[in-house]
Amino acid sequence: MRIGVLTGGGDCPGLNAVIRAIVRKAETRYGDEIIGFYDAWDGVMEQRSMTLDTAAVRGILPRGGTILGTRRGGPFDTADGVERVRKSFEDNRLDALIVIGGNGSLTVGSMLHEQFGLPIVGIPKTIDNDVVGTDATFGFQTAVQIATDAIDRLHTTAESHDRVMVVEVMGRDAGWIALQAGIAGGATAILVPEVPFDIDELSAVIAHRHDRGRYASVVVVAEGAMPKQGTLDMPEVAVNQYGHHSPRNIAQLIAPEITKRTGYESRVVQLGHVQRGGTPTSYDRVLSTRFGLAAVDAVHDAAFGQMVVLRCGEIARESMSATRGKIKTINLDLFADVSATFFG
């Protein structure tokens, strides 16, 4: 078989590991040819590709990023996009395409399969861990570890200067990174998109902590966290072509409000794209490899329109359409339990 591969959406640790697994299994176990498309759907439409064989993927297991490059957007963004994808399938004699991506890329893949019958298999990836249908996505654990390491370091400088450190992590629609890194790093408070916060209540928690002689506070806030209506003025932000809000810089907004209410000096640390880069953890390398191996089997089983997922520790399959218009949000029971136990 001739199998195409693309990586779409934001980059994350583990992409190269999954590409490597696909190539090694397809080539050695099935005798397949693998075509890697550059820059996500752009590469498919423009027919920019490279041959992927064992030599091409040698040494990429621990590397961050993706050797194929990635972009946002897809064929439904232009009038002739779908036709160009179909032509690329024909010209490249593709028997299948493996789409490695988040909610956006998987939604495009499911629509191309359902509406036009294209043979597509999906692999979920995102550091945000917000893809419906899978217990975990690769890249998430690495991002949590990076954020946790940063929080650990910030505790000591906060204690030295009796400051409040407001740490902003990624998580536009779901607070998985903030929740898990905040728990692991012993945060004073965690703010997530799923639960609107009250700036006065947050400030009271910080003031109470300092009154007990604890001379440092670390607040972990997901980039998409929002205040309760009427409790904090928020600026209007633009919405881009993909329906995403421009960054609100929420940490920059709440830090001075904390200082105003508590009198304690505050500092902002925005981890940003550091969370996406660098070497994937061993967990993410293993999960990426398992997903890659399973995706090749899915292609040979003609399980098109499906994505490989992690479910109760085992690799399973789920319809890619399960991701369409949906976000997997955090465990609210865990958040409430952690908040009641540790914050205050």
What is the number of H-type helices and E-type strands within the chain?
Answer: 10, 11
CB 177 within 8 A of CB 142: no
Catalytic residue (choose from 32, 42, 128, 130): 128
Give the type of residue at 137. Answer: T
Distance CA 295, CA 302 (A): 10
On whether the CB atoms of residues 247 and 240 are closer than 8 A, the answer is: no
Query: How is residue 200 written in tokens?
Result: 């006065």
State how far the Cα of 96 lies from the Cα of 206, in Å rounded to an integer: 54
Give yes or no for a contact between 225 and 194, defined as CB atoms under 8 angstroms apart: no
Please tell me the distance from the alpha carbon of residue 15 to that of residue 99, in angstroms, as a whole number. 11
In the chain, where does DSSP find H-type helix?
15-30, 41-46, 81-91, 103-116, 140-161, 176-184, 199-211, 250-262, 282-300, 332-342
Nearest alpha carbon to residue 43 among 120, 95, 97, 110: 97
Instruction: Round to whole Å and give the CA distance between 114 and 125.
Output: 21
Active-site residue, 77 included: no
Burial of 319 (0-12, 13-18, 19+ CB in 10 A): middle
State which amino acid sits at residue 335.
F
Task: With beta carbons less than 8 A apart as the criterion, state whether 128 and 193 touch.
Answer: no
The residues annotated with a catalytic role in the active site are 128
